[in-house]
């Protein structure tokens, strides 16, 4: 089941990426697609049921062995190619290096096939072929060749990432992705070590096959998950951070939006928006808040502002927090006055056009949080109720 899940997920990612090959000749993009395709095929063909099926339809016992080993070798080469192009540098140099590695690993794949043909693997082994044929001539060399090729690729890839992460300062998500990749390649080395140890135990006459049939199998899926995460983290990390910021900002602005909407329902747009388009919903919420503040401008009482400012000082608030507390207090009392159909403090035409300039999102979030819980706002509400003028007629200025 694990093989099907891993193979299906990777092949789905390839299907999503593949159409882009028609519109770009980027070797980096082609390398990404190649890694996805070969990795999906690798994990699909590694399934014991698929191995048995391939062996049955070809009539060759263990026919799937050189196929799986060849796919693993190809994935190793493509990962190195991907890292070379991803790191950048002179295009010609990167292309020559990538072509050289592809040629070397292509020869290794040919050698694996030749060794399988020369060897005798007449007994089908779907799970423990590496240890079962650990002492069989030619098959033994084929097994060692693919393991050494995979180990070498993991070592070189880890070395590339270590040197790269030492040079990179920004963007931070690239550094994080490289660190995760280093962990992934280390797990690949652990996988190879477990297989090689099991093979060495067979050479010594011991039976440590569990390292090959259990430990290595468990590490295979973990390696794919960790290395895939390392590759995609620099791509989805910034997007995920922006999405998280948008969601938290949208939710944090709700108390302020609710207060303004209660006083002036007309500021809310009737046009529905998709629930998943959080950036657009956030933009509209901010616009509605700005409209609501403008609608409350005639009801802003300077006496409340002065009182709230004094209360903020007594409460130990300073800087942006004090400004946010005063704004929250003024808006809360103004919203109450408008909702109660009180007379405005001054005619709208008497207020300058830029009397209440739009606040930045960070400032609006602070105001919204003050509305939710702040003693200054509660005191200002009580103070406003005790005033003689605000709810009965225009204020005297």
pLDDT-based confidence at 356, cuts 50/70/90?
Answer: low
Residue 351: the pLDDT is 44
The pLDDT > 90 percentage for the chain reads 55
| CATH code 1.20.1070 region(s) in the chain | 2-236
> How many CB atoms are closer than 10 A to CB 274?
8
> 393 falls in which pLDDT band (50, 70, 90)?
very low
Are 34 and 98 a contacting pair, CB within 8 Å? no
Query: CATH for 2-236?
Result: 1.20.1070
Residues 133, 139, 141, 145, Cα dihedral to 10°: -100
Q: What is the mean pLDDT of residues 97-118?
A: 95
Say yes or no to pLDDT of 308 above 80.
yes
> Ramachandran region of residue 24, left (φ > 0), alpha (ψ -120 to 50) or beta?
beta
Residue for token digits 């082994």? 125
Please tell me the distance from the alpha carbon of residue 155 to that of residue 16, in angstroms, as a whole number: 30
Query: What are the DSSP calls for 195-245, one per residue?
Result: HHHHHHHHHTT---THIIIIIHHHHHHHHHHHHHHHHHHHHHHHHHHHHHH
For the chain, the C-alpha Rg in angstroms (whole number) is: 33
Taking residue 320's Cβ as centre, other Cβ atoms within 10 Å add up to 12
Per-residue confidence (pLDDT) for residue 239, from 0 to 100: 87
Distance CA 333, CA 327 (A): 10
Average pLDDT over residues 257-271: 84
The pLDDT of residue 10 is above 50: yes
Tens digit of each residue's pLDDT (9 = 90 or more) over 78-104: 999 999 998 877 888 989 999 999 999
194-227 tens-digit pLDDT: 999 999 999 999 999 999 999 998 898 899 889 9
**Residues near 88 by beta carbon (within 8 Å), at least 6 away in sequence:** 94
Helix (DSSP H) and strand (DSSP E) numbers for the chain: 16, 0
Q: What is the mean pLDDT of residues 256-281?
A: 84
pLDDT in tens, 272-283: 777 778 899 999
**Percentage of the chain lying above the pLDDT 70 cut:** 93
Phi/psi for 349 (5° steps) reads -70, -20
Residue with tokens 């080469």: 77
The conformation of residue 21, written as its DSSP 8-state character, comes to G
3-state SS class at 46: coil
């Amino acid at each position: 089941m694990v093989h099907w899940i891993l193979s299906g997920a990777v092949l789905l990612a390839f299907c999503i990426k593949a159409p882009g090959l028609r519109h770009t000749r980027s070797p980096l993009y082609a390398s990404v697609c190649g890694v996805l395709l070969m990795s999906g095929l690798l994990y699909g063909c590694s399934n014991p049921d698929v191995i048995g099926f391939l062996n049955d339809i070809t009539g060759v016992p263990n026919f799937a062995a050189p196929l799986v080993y060849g796919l693993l070798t190809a994935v190793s080469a493509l990962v190195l190619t991907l890292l070379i192009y991803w790191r950048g540098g002179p295009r010609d140099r990167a292309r020559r290096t990538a072509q050289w590695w592809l040629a070397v690993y292509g020869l290794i794949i040919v050698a694996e096939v030749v060794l399988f043909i020369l060897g005798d693997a007449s007994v089908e082994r779907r799970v423990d072929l590496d240890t079962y044929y650990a002492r069989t001539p030619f098959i033994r060399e084929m097994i060692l060749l693919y393991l050494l090729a995979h180990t070498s690729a993991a070592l070189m890839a880890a070395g590339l990432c270590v040197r790269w992460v030492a040079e990179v300062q920004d963007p931070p998500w690239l550094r994080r992705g490289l660190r995760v990749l280093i962990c992934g390649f280390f797990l690949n080395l652990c996988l190879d070590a477990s297989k090689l140890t099991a093979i060495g135990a067979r050479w010594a006459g011991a039976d440590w096959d569990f390292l090959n049939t259990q430990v290595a199998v468990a590490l295979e899926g973990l390696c794919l998950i960790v290395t895939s995460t390392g590759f995609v983290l620099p791509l989805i990390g910034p997007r995920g951070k922006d999405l998280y910021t948008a969601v938290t900002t949208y939710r944090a602005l709700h108390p302020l939006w609710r207060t303004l909407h209660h006083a002036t329902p007309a500021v809310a747009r009737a046009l529905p928006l998709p629930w998943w388009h959080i950036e657009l919903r956030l933009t509209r919420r901010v616009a509605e808040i700005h409209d609501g503040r403008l609608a409350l401008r005639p009801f802003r009482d300077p006496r409340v502002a002065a009182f709230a400012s004094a209360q903020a000082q007594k409460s130990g608030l300073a800087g942006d927090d004090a400004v946010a507390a005063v704004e929250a207090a003024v808006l809360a009392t103004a919203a109450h006055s408008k909702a109660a159909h009180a007379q405005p403090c001054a005619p709208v035409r008497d207020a300058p056009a830029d009397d209440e300039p739009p606040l930045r999102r960070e400032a609006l979030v602070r105001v919204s949080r003050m509305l939710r819980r702040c003693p200054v706002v509660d005191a200002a509400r009580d103070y406003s109720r005790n005033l003689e003028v605000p709810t009965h007629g225009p204020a005297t200025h």
